[in-house]
Amino acid sequence: MSPSSAASSSVPASGLVQHLRATLLDLHAHPYPTITNPPNVPRRASVALVLRIQPHHAHFPPESSTPLADSQFVSGAGRISAFFEQDWAAHGDPEVLFIKRAARSGDKWTSHIAFPGGRRDPEDADDEAAAVRETWEEVGLRLSEEVAVPAGNLPQRVVTASWGKKPLMVLCPYIYLLTTPDTPTLRLQPTEVASTHWVPLRALLSPAQRTYWYQDIASRVAKTDLGMKFHQLAVGDMMFAAVRLVPSETKHCTSIAEFLPDEPIHAERDTTNLTVPLFGVPKTPPRPVDGPLLLWGLSLGVMGDLLDMLPPYTAFQAWTYPTFTAPDIKLVLWILSYRFRARKQKEIERGRRAVPAVELGLDSIAFTDDGGHPSSVGIDGLGVGRYYGRVRQDAQGTRSETVGVLLQGYYDIILWAVPVAFALRATVAAAVGYACWRKLKR
């Protein structure tokens, strides 16, 4: 399932709105269950998927339009239905809010694309209250009834480190729908958020935006510089499925150093064009804030849960299994996982579901492990993991944590592929050496 092989069909924005309405009503009526913490793991965290409808220029809301308040309706479902019945909402473009985390030295999740959210505090009434509080603290958006309506949740999952062996916390995603045509002004927390980005769901569903995130695992495994260089040469980087974000609106935190660096950005020589002079022409690299925005890992897994409920219902087909850049390891992993991937494909097509998910990585939340050193966390953002509990048929028969289903058991294959590839390298090297020795002996 490569990015290029995904279905290319797309749904117009107006049609997507109606599908989103049905999905949110379904999620509101059938919430996912609360997952209990694993033994000796009391930590919980929550994130908020904030949705809005960007009005179309031909169906702009009247200036006299008033927001929908909870007091007008018997239930939240009634408020969701009434919102989508408005002309400007029915013909708008659905978008979701992402944040880019602030750059911090020594933070393994620095500058990652994520959702507003963070760790649940003792004063929070529940997991949802933590999502509301963190959204207010990080981006200055109050998810109150005046501007937003709760629209259900997505599957909770246990986040782990050390290749799934060390549970860290339970992650709880919640969905909120802004009900006003004018989005409240965001106020970014400089120590947490570098920028915010409103991204159309159409862009997230587009196969053309599928790409890869390359993760250096040497720094996660090796303890010395020499060890890191050896691992980098021997294994290379890991490749993860990613989505290139195409924001319709971006807001930067202008008070942070990465927005306007103090040091000059030195020009680089471009020597790839043979028509330029011998030493090339200066090419100024982009600022850190102008780099590509890639959604991957745990955040992509959470977003994929929602996207897979929307047409063309094939978001998971554009997703790829994690692999390595080293050609031989990639080939060995592909061979060893061939039957596994075929079986998982059939499971998804048959609609078999399982909860809860256990995933590796913390790239979608802001969390500091007060009980240990950050280096104790394994490879971040893998989004690969396992399920505990019985595989079951969901009440609706169509909803689940899709990425977790696909990756259940993939850990073991990864851990086998690397030593098998090394053994093959040693065998080939020994065979070549023996052949050379025989030739020289003659």
Number of folded domains in the chain?
A: 1
Would you state the pLDDT for residue 251? 95
Would you state the pLDDT for residue 340? 92
Distance in angstroms (rounded) separating the CA atoms of residues 33 and 124: 19
Tokens of 346: 């059939």
Q: Are 237 and 327 in contact (CB under 8 A)?
A: no
Would you state the pLDDT for residue 396? 40
Q: Are 269 and 280 in contact (CB under 8 A)?
A: yes
Instruction: Identify the burial level of 138 via C-beta atoms within 10 angstroms of its C-beta, where 0-12 means exposed, 13-18 middle and 19 or more buried.
Output: buried
The CATH code of the domain that includes 261 is: 3.90.79.10
Would you state the pLDDT for residue 374? 31
Q: Which helix (H) or strand (E) holds 161?
A: strand 157-161
Would you state the pLDDT for residue 24? 96
Would you state the pLDDT for residue 170? 92
**Segments of the chain with pLDDT less than 50:** 1-9, 271-274, 276, 278, 352-358, 360-400
Q: How far is CA 143 from CA 92, 191, 329, in A?
A: 21, 21, 47
Q: How far is CA 348 from CA 269, 405, 413, in A?
A: 49, 8, 19
Q: Tell me the pLDDT tens digit for each residue of 155-168.
A: 998 887 766 667 88
Would you state the pLDDT for residue 292? 85
Would you state the pLDDT for residue 318? 65
Structural domain span for residue 224:
3-441
Tokens of 79: 């408020």
Contacts 24+ apart (CB under 8 A), 415-419: 415/163, 416/336, 417/324, 417/329, 417/332, 417/333, 417/336, 417/337, 418/235, 418/324, 418/329
Would you state the pLDDT for residue 87? 92
Percentages helix, strand, coil for the chain (3-state, rounded to 5) are 35, 20, 40
Of 219, 53, 45, nearest in space to 121 by CA: 45
Distance in angstroms (rounded) separating the CA atoms of residues 166 and 168: 6
Q: How far is CA 252 from CA 96, 113, 138, 257, 336, in A?
A: 17, 14, 13, 11, 44
